[in-house]
């Protein structure tokens, strides 16, 4: 009895962490973009969709292996992110923030419906490039794909953290997120830094797209909508603007979802996520790792 409860717990933990790592990868893009230009990039979930579709095509038609599919999807995500920023967001950098938000929603609609128009809206089977193998560890079922997702996601997050903390560009990103005007005064190229941020965040989304394709086997043009919103919630829970916060928030939301599902309340799993979001914001108005900046009087 005791052992089986423990098994169930670990099983859910593994499932939750796998899902959570996808949310975390997506949340990183939201948090970085929000941190630097204070924009909820609604189109971010759709870059993840683009990454999944890219993976689908290169694996099916160019017979890429997993690693090349992943890396090329990251590249495609990065390019898409930079193009979107250049054409849709850059002209609005000094416009009211709500205008930029609506533009982001417009870009999201454009990508979703453009892909539906070009490739149809029926779900496609993602090619199983990696033969699924299930391992039984102390009665807990773990698939090699889950391990792959977790390891890849964690590796990417570590790389990202290193880029932000150790490189010159990372320093510039942090400077711009604190004060863009001051950053520009000390010689930081604002446009290049913002482009770089979009590239970095969007490449994570591209990677997440390929990983989720492998995990769920199914992709469609609207696949980015719900995970996109969940990942944004994760970023807010973790403290928007904070990179570790986004990772923690992602895992937290993933675990919470699987937990609610495992106790037989799957119909309420989204409600639980939003409820926790509201509670966390009421206790910590800037999220777990966010800094609550009080207005100076």
Partner 1 sequence: MTILKANFKYNVSWLIIMVAGFYLMNTLMLMGIIDSFIENMLVVIGINIILATGLNLVIGFAGQFSLGHAGFMAIGAYATAIITTNSATAGGFYTSIVVGVIIAIIAAIIVGVPTLRLRGDYLAIATMGAAEIIRIIINNLQITNGPSGMFNIPQFATWPVVYIMVCVTTILIANFVRSRAGRAIKSVREDEIAAESAGINTTNWKLAAFVFGAATAAIAGSLDASYLQTIAPTNFGIMESISILIIVVLGGVGSLTGSVVAAVVLGILDTALQNFGTLRMVIYAAALILIMIFKPTGLLGSHELSFKHLFSGTKRKGRVRS
What are the residues binding partner 1 (CB under 8 A)?
34, 38, 40, 88, 91-92, 95-96, 98-103, 105-110, 112-114, 116-117, 121, 229, 232-233, 236, 240, 267-268, 270-271, 273-275, 277-278, 281-282, 285-286, 295, 297
Cβ(110)–Cβ(102) under 8 Å?
no
> Comparing C-alpha atoms, which of 281, 290, 190 is closest to residue 248?
290
Of 101 and 169, CB closest to partner 1:
101
> Given the complex with partner 1, which of 62 and 117 has the nearer CB atom?
117
Q: Of the two residues 94 and 168, which places its CB atom closer to partner 1 in the complex?
A: 94
Residue 107 or 219 with smaller CB distance to partner 1 = 107
Q: How far is the CB of 214 from partner 1 (least distance, A)?
A: 27
Q: What are phi and psi of 64, to 5 degrees?
A: -65, 150
Task: Give the angle 90-96-101 at the CA atoms, nearest 5°.
Answer: 65
What tokens appear for 17 in the block? 């962490």
Rounded to whole angstroms, how far apart are CA atoms 225 and 2?
40
Q: Are 41 and 29 in contact, with CB atoms under 8 Å apart?
A: yes
| CA 207 – CA 51 distance, rounded (Å) | 7
Q: Which is nearer to partner 1, 24 or 40 (CB)?
A: 40
Q: How far is the CB of 58 from partner 1 (least distance, A)?
A: 25
Least Å distance between CB 289 and partner 1?
A: 14
Element at 140 (helix H, strand E): strand 140-143
CB of 297 to partner 1, least distance (A): 6
**For partner 1, which is the closer residue by CB, 56 or 232?**
232
Task: In whole angstroms, give the CA distance from residue 42 to residue 30.
Answer: 9
Q: Phi/psi of residue 223, each to 5°?
A: -65, -20
> Please, what is the minimum distance in Å from the beta carbon of residue 98 to partner 1?
6
Cα gap 87→105, rounded to integer Å: 14
The residue (of 1 and 98) whose beta carbon lies closer to partner 1 is 98
In the bound complex, what is the minimum distance in angstroms from residue 99's beta carbon to partner 1?
5
Q: How far apart are CA 183 and CA 1, in angstroms?
A: 60
Residue 99: closest CA among 48, 45, 44, 38? 38
Element spanning 12, H or E: helix 2-37
Q: Please say which residue, 34 or 53, places its beta carbon nearer to partner 1.
A: 34
Say which residues have a Cβ less than 8 Å from residue 178's Cβ, sequence separation at least 6: none
Shortest reach from residue 231's CB to partner 1, in Å: 12
**What is the C-alpha separation between 159 and 161, in angstroms, rounded?**
5
Smallest distance, Å, CB 89 to partner 1? Answer: 10
């Amino acid at each position: 009895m005791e052992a089986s409860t423990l098994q169930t717990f670990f099983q859910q933990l593994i499932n939750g962490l796998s899902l959570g790592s996808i949310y975390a990868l997506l949340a990183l893009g939201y948090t970085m973009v929000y941190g630097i230009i204070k924009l909820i990039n609604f189109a971010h979930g759709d870059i993840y969709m683009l990454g999944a579709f890219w993976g689908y095509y290169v694996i099916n038609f160019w017979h890429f292996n997993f690693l090349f599919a992943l890396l090329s999807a990251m590249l495609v995500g990065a390019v898409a992110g930079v193009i979107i920023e250049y054409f849709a967001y850059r002209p609005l950098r000094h416009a009211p923030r709500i205008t930029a938000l609506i533009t982001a929603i417009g870009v999201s609609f454009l990508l979703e419906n453009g892909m539906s128009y070009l490739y149809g809206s029926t779900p496609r089977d993602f090619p199983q490039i990696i033969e699924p193998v299930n391992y039984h560890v102390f009665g807990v079922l773990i698939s090699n794909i889950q391990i792959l997702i977790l390891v890849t996601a964690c590796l990417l997050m570590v790389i990202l953290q290193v880029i932000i903390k150790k490189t010159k560009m990372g320093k510039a990103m942090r400077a711009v997120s604190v004060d863009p005007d001051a950053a520009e005064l000390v010689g930081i190229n604002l446009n290049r830094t913002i482009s770089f941020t979009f590239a970095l965040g969007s490449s994570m989304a591209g990677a997440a797209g390929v990983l989720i394709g492998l995990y769920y086997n199914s992709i469609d043009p609207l696949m980015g909508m719900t995970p996109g919103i969940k990942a944004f919630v994760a970023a807010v829970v973790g403290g928007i603007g904070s990179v570790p916060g986004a990772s923690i928030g992602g895992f937290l939301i993933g675990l919470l979802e699987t937990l609610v599902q495992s106790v037989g309340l799957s119909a309420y799993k989204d409600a639980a996520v939003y409820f926790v979001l509201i509670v966390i914001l009421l206790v910590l108005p800037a999220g777990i790792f966010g800094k609550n900046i009080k207005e100076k009087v």
